[in-house]
């Protein structure tokens, strides 16, 4: 019998969940930056092999939510953990164990699903430090396997897959074997634009930006795809940073995003980027829902809902 099921990648911000998913899929599905909270939605990646099919949930990093957007992010991670057949807890081996790690560890241990502990970024840590870390997580035998790896280099990734196949239930594939993800191109395009914003603005606009696709004009195969997107900022001063001196910053972001999108979509792109100031947009339910509009295609199972379908906080 084939194996098939869902696997939630859970961890603190910057634990390397997106890097691991991209490494496993051999495709750049999730955007990656050195900024915490880069992943804002549950990214779905599909791996189909002769053994069966694994549907991965790359989740936002677990953190103390301070805004409506962040509460939605944490809820996405919690829902993914509750719905998955297997839970993988990623830990950054290069960071000291703190209160946040203890809280998340206790949370994961309470789940009923089989669990795997992944100690990531071992390429950045002396080997002598790894054994005490693994020993801490081995206490109580909560995890079916403890795996040190480097998601950046791929060292240990196949071992992770071997352990996941052991834990998944038998069953038919959940999706067509040709699918890599269930996210529509509109959403993936917006994410790649946001990645370029994060990279180019460095530490100036870490969390206060978002990308909203306003128009997607597709004239058909062989024609230029015209994408009109708005980069949201919270203050007029941030708008100035995003535009840059004589428009240099916006031009740099636009050029990098257009080249990336042309490679990703395999066609010529006309990309129009505008800066839109939306004060306190992370607390605005209308803006948060608008951003969630294109996250999932209609192929997403009914029980796995996007943040746009979630009720408002009281």
Q: Is residue 173 part of a domain?
A: no
Mean predicted confidence (pLDDT) in 262-287 = 92
Is residue 65 domain-shared with residue 105, that is, in the same domain?
yes
How far CA 237 is from CA of 60, 229, 279, in Å, comes to 28, 20, 11
**What pLDDT is attached to residue 95?**
92
Is residue 255 domain-shared with residue 161, that is, in the same domain?
no
* DSSP secondary structure, 39-87, as one string: --S-EEEEEEETTEEEEEEE-PPP----SHHHHHHHHHHHHHHHH-SEE
**Higher per-residue pLDDT: 203 or 308:** 203
Is residue 12 domain-shared with residue 121, that is, in the same domain?
yes
Reading the block at residue 102, the tokens are: 């203890």
How far CA 9 is from CA of 69, 210, 240, 294, 308, in Å, comes to 20, 23, 37, 22, 22
How far CA 23 is from CA of 135, 158, 248, in Å, comes to 26, 10, 33
Over residues 118-139, the pLDDT tens digits come to: 999 999 999 889 999 999 899 8
Over residues 227-251, the pLDDT tens digits come to: 999 999 998 988 998 999 999 999 9
| Cβ contact 115:88 at 8 Å | yes
**Residues 6+ positions from 294 with CB-CB distance below 8 Å:** 184, 186, 187, 190, 213
Task: Tell me how far apart the alpha carbons of residues 77 and 303 are, in angstroms, rounded to a whole number.
Answer: 15
Residue 311 has pLDDT above 60, yes or no: no
Task: Tell me how far apart the alpha carbons of residues 210 and 293 are, in angstroms, rounded to a whole number.
Answer: 13
CATH assignment at residue 40: 3.40.50.300
Over residues 122-181, the pLDDT tens digits come to: 999 998 899 999 998 998 899 999 999 999 999 999 999 999 999 999 999 999 999 999
Over residues 2-47, the pLDDT tens digits come to: 999 999 999 998 899 999 999 999 999 987 877 666 777 789 999 9
CATH assignment at residue 235: 3.30.300.20
Is residue 34 domain-shared with residue 88, that is, in the same domain?
yes
Over residues 75-129, the pLDDT tens digits come to: 888 888 999 999 999 999 999 988 888 989 998 999 999 999 999 999 999 988 9
Is residue 159 domain-shared with residue 190, that is, in the same domain?
no
Residue 116: which domain range?
A: 3-167
**pLDDT band for position 66 (50/70/90)?**
low
Is residue 255 domain-shared with residue 281, that is, in the same domain?
yes
Is residue 152 domain-shared with residue 207, that is, in the same domain?
no
Task: Tell me how far apart the alpha carbons of residues 79 and 112 are, in angstroms, rounded to a whole number.
Answer: 14
Mean predicted confidence (pLDDT) in 194-214 = 83
Q: Is residue 94 part of a domain?
A: yes
**Residues 6+ positions from 180 with CB-CB distance below 8 Å:** 25, 27, 29, 45, 46
Which of 167, 193, 228 terminates a domain? The answer is 167
Looking at the 3D structure of the chain, how many domains does it have? 2
Is residue 104 domain-shared with residue 203, that is, in the same domain?
no
Residue 309 has pLDDT above 70, yes or no: no
Q: Is residue 211 part of a domain?
A: yes
Residue 208 has pLDDT above 90, yes or no: no
**What pLDDT is attached to residue 307?**
35
How far CA 297 is from CA of 22, 47, 284, in Å, comes to 20, 18, 24
Reading the block at residue 223, the tokens are: 């024609």
**What pLDDT is attached to residue 305?**
36
Which of 134, 167, 200 terminates a domain? The answer is 167
**Higher per-residue pLDDT: 271 or 30:** 271
The model's pTM: 0.86
Q: Is residue 274 part of a domain?
A: yes
Q: Is residue 180 part of a domain?
A: no
């Amino acid at each position: 019998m084939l194996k098939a099921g869902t696997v939630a990648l859970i961890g603190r911000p910057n634990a390397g969940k997106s890097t691991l998913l991209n490494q496993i899929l051999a495709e750049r599905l999730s955007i990656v930056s050195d900024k915490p909270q880069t992943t804002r939605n549950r990214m779905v990646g599909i791996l189909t092999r002769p053994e069966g099919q694994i549907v991965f949930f790359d989740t936002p990093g677990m953190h103390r939510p301070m805004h409506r957007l962040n509460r939605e992010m944490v809820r996405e991670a919690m829902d993914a953990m509750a719905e998955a057949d297997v839970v993988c807890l990623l830990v950054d081996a290069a960071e000291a164990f703190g209160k946040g790690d203890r809280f998340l560890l206790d949370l994961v241990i309470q789940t009923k699903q089989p669990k795997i502990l992944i100690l990531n970024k071992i390429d950045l840590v002396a080997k002598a430090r790894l054994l005490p870390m693994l020993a801490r997580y081995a206490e109580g035998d909560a995890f079916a396997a403890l795996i040190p790896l480097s998601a950046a280099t791929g060292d240990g990734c196949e071992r992770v897959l071997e352990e996941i196949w052991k834990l998944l239930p038998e069953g038919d594939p959940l999706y067509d074997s040709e699918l890599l993800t269930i996210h529509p191109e509109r959403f993936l395009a917006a994410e790649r634009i946001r990645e370029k914003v994060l990279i180019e603005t460095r530490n100036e606009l870490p969390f206060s930006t978002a990308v909203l696709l306003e128009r997607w004009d597709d004239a058909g195969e062989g024609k230029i795809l015209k994408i009109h997107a708005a980069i949201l900022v919270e203050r007029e001063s941030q708008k100035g940073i995003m535009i840059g001196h004589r428009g240099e910053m916006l031009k740099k972001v636009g050029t990098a995003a257009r080249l990336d999108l042309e490679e990703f979509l395999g066609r010529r792109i006309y990309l129009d980027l505008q800066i839109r100031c939306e004060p306190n947009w992370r607390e605005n339910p209308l803006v948060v829902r608008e951003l969630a509009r294109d996250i999932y295609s209609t192929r997403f199972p009914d029980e796995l809902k996007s943040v746009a379908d979630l009720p408002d906080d009281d």
